[in-house]
Amino acid sequence: MSALNRSIALAGAGAIGIPILRALLNHPNHPKVVVLTRPGSKKDLPSDLSLATVIPVDYTDVAALTALFKEHNIEVVISTVPPPGYVTAQHALADAAKASGSVKLFVPSEWGVPTEGAKGEGNLFGVKDEVAEYLKSIGLPYTRIFTGLFTSFIPWVIGADAESSAYIQGTGKTPFTTTSEEDIGGFVAHVLTSLPLTSPDLVNASLRIQGQKITLQECARLLNKSIVLVAEGESIPAKTDGEKHLKAFLQTQMEGGMASTGWDRRSNREIEGAAGSANKLWEGHVWQTVASSFA
């Protein structure tokens, strides 16, 4: 079957779902896209995406999801559901994808650091790895896409979105991967509408993309923020305690090298050449940098 007019279901259109949706709808291969939304949710898409097909569906209703995938002949399911929905919503989406007979590929809600081997860590990365294990266990072909930190989230992680300083825990000198949301969307749209869905580049593959390798200290300088070094456990400015803990957790991961898309949690080391190794699937693309994103 031609890659043109591929049918794709996108579960969740928020921080990363919207750039993915935008890239899909603007792609020259013209995929047919349906956006899934929870019943009762007020889904206000940006005005340039207002013509997208949005279908309310209960993520706990596997039969309803299966019928939806069959009716729209969905070939690819892309999940961008956030943490509260990682397990319940994604297991239901996966079960329905498997039962539909039409879905050939499932893209789980990774969109961050490499999580292979994180199962059992008791954190959000562990849960993402467990979802991938579930996809394996039901024999549903999947593609995991690792991106590092979204570029627009860098000021938030160092508390520099609301403050004149950047709050860095540890040295802030360990390089990590960042990729802009626009590039993530473009990459997803490119590989999922251009490659055969049976391609070994996609089937049960982990794609490690990278816009740029950079340190938090370099980011602070690019953002013109003075640096405040904070000890582990000291506060990084945040709106809630939950955010504070998340920022501290993410900075610990970054300091330890785990936020590079070349990192392997199973061997606890950087694999040479792995960071950005999937960039080659989007030949000729010029990836955005932190400097170009915040210019």
Ligand X SMILES: NC(=O)c1ccc[n+]([C@@H]2O[C@H](COP(=O)([O-])OP(=O)(O)OC[C@H]3O[C@@H](n4cnc5c(N)ncnc54)[C@H](OP(=O)(O)O)[C@@H]3O)[C@@H](O)[C@H]2O)c1
Shorter beta-carbon distance to ligand X: residue 149 or 274: 149
Shorter beta-carbon distance to ligand X: residue 30 or 239: 239
Q: In sequence order, which residues have a C-beta less than 8 Å from that of residue 26 and are 6 or more positions away?
A: 189
Angle, CA of 95, 22 and 59, to the nearest 5°: 25
Helix (H, G, I), strand (E, B) or coil at 118: coil
3-state secondary structure 179-245: ECHHHHHHHHHHHHHHCCCCCCCCCCEEEECCCEEECHHHHHHHCCCEEEEECCCCCCCCCCHHHHH
Give the shortest CB-3-to-ligand X separation in angstroms.
Answer: 25
Shorter beta-carbon distance to ligand X: residue 25 or 29: 25
Shorter beta-carbon distance to ligand X: residue 41 or 50: 41
Shorter beta-carbon distance to ligand X: residue 184 or 281: 184
Give the shortest CB-2-to-ligand X separation in angstroms.
Answer: 30
Give the shortest CB-154-to-ligand X separation in angstroms.
Answer: 9
What is the radius of gyration, based on Cα positions, of the chain? Answer: 19
| Interface contacts to ligand X, rule CB under 6 A | 12-17, 37-38, 41, 43, 59, 80-82, 84-85, 89, 109, 111-112, 147, 149-150, 153
Q: In sequence order, which residues have a C-beta less than 8 Å from that of residue 226 and are 6 or more positions away?
A: 164, 165, 166, 220
Shorter beta-carbon distance to ligand X: residue 12 or 185: 12
Which residue is closest to ligand X by CB? 14
Token readout for 150 is 């979204």
Pairing assessment for the beta strands 176-179 and 105-107 based on DSSP bridges: unpaired
Q: In sequence order, which residues have a C-beta less than 8 Å from that of residue 292 and are 6 or more positions away?
A: none
Shorter beta-carbon distance to ligand X: residue 153 or 249: 153
Tell me the C-alpha to C-alpha distance, in Å, between residue 1 and each of 191, 199, 234: 15, 13, 55
Give the shortest CB-106-to-ligand X separation in angstroms.
Answer: 14
Give the shortest CB-103-to-ligand X separation in angstroms.
Answer: 18
Give the shortest CB-65-to-ligand X separation in angstroms.
Answer: 12
Give the shortest CB-94-to-ligand X separation in angstroms.
Answer: 13
